[in-house]
Amino acid sequence: MGSIELVCPAGSPAMLRAAIEAGADSVYCGLRDDTNARNFPGLNFSPQELSDSVAWAHRHGARVLLAVNTFAQAGGSDRWRRSLDAAAASGADAVIVADLGVLAYAREAWPHLRLHLSVQAAAGSPEAIAFYAQAYGVKRVVLPRVLSVEEIAALMREIEVETEAFVFGGLCVMAEGRCALSSYAAGRSPNLCGVCSPPEAVSYSEEEDALVSRLAGFAMDRYAPGDPAGYPTLCKGRFEARGVLSYLFEDPVSLNAMSLLGGLKRAGVTAVKIEGRQRGKAYVARVAAAFRAAIDAIDRGESPDAYEHLLTDLAEGGRETTGAYRKRWR
């Protein structure tokens, strides 16, 4: 059994280099527009930066995957076609796509461009995955973050494409590609605009010694002095319902499935993925180095336990979860 591939995020060429120098096998990134699901101001790559970064990565033995993983908008699909053209021109090793029309264009215009199915497509059944593989030649599926390790193992026995599983970083609690919470509150969503809780709608204020986070004017949480803070999203907001104050949908925790790497490898998962293109060089260098060490330990037949708690301070809310992989998650 070969080693599991470590796929790390890059929000800039500098972050891409930091990830690869720290041990990433592959890096994923996006162009500076709404064709990718991390469309934040100041983030991402120009087409020229993408070409230069692909050349740099290849010289260092790493691969670059370009995310073109938002859903094309009626009357504006030229941007998605241009992003795929830029990927092909740059020599990127694969594109990560969710939209059927974008997949169809990629298959037709760039038949040799490797296609990965984004988590945004939420394809979690053998039938759905087989459809994408047969219709568009998809070679790898990024698995939805709602499957347990056992479910992934069962799925792997029924599909013929590679799989990639998220193992670290911010956690989407909703069925990806289907969530409209951000649109409801702030008018823009990751699905169409590439941004969940757009920063122009986010504010923080200090009120009576507490820090209050808001999204589009709606209070999302209130942090007492010294409490870990978070970025305000509706799915991780703290609300009062029937007189009880709680995180109605999900606690503000981050995924860390390092302890499950061995199980994912045995299940047949090809690659593991780190979330966090918006986090920066210091983050990706630490996370990539820790997961590199854990994967190498597993390859030597050793336990990765020594590395599991190295990253807790990077987690949102300062707390970690194994998410749906162990199905203890609410």
Partner 1 sequence: MSGWRRRSKSDGRGRGERLAVTVLMTLRHPPERMLTAALRALGRRRPEVFERLGVANDVDLVVAPSDFPVAFRLRPGHGAGRVEVERHDAARPSAARITGPLATLIGLFDGACDADAAFFARRIRITGDTQAVVALHNTLEAAELTTADLLPLPDPLRRWTGALLSAGLARLRAREG
Q: Is 316 in the site for partner 1 (CB under 8 A)?
A: yes
Helix (H) or strand (E) holding 102: helix 100-109
Instruction: Convert residues 283-302 into a mask of x (bound to partner 1 by CB under 8 A) and - (unbound).
Output: x--x----------------
Return the biggest CA–CA distance within the chain: 60
Contact with partner 1 (CB under 8 A) among 30, 144, 177, 230: 230
Q: CA quadruple 9, 11, 13, 14: dihedral positive or negative?
A: negative
Q: How far is CA 155 from CA 97, 120, 299, 326, in A?
A: 21, 18, 23, 16
- At 28, list the tokens: 């994923």
Nearer to partner 1 among residue 118 and residue 278 (C-beta): 278
Nearer to partner 1 among residue 206 and residue 305 (C-beta): 206
Smallest separation, CB 91 to partner 1 (Å): 21
- At 187, list the tokens: 């008018």
Q: Is 237 in the site for partner 1 (CB under 8 A)?
A: no
Q: DSSP 3-state assignment of 58? A: helix
Nearer to partner 1 among residue 99 and residue 316 (C-beta): 316
Instruction: Convert residues 1-20 into a mask of x (bound to partner 1 by CB under 8 A) and - (unbound).
Output: ----------xxxxx-----
| Residues contacting 200, CB < 8 A, separation 6+ | none
Q: Is 236 in the site for partner 1 (CB under 8 A)?
A: no
Phi, psi of 77 (to 5 degrees): -70, -10
Contact with partner 1 (CB under 8 A) among 281, 288, 295, 307: 281
Inter-residue contact 274 to 284 (CB < 8 Å): yes
Which residues contribute to the site for partner 1 (CB under 8 A)? 11-15, 40-43, 198-200, 202-206, 211, 223, 225-231, 278-283, 286, 313-318
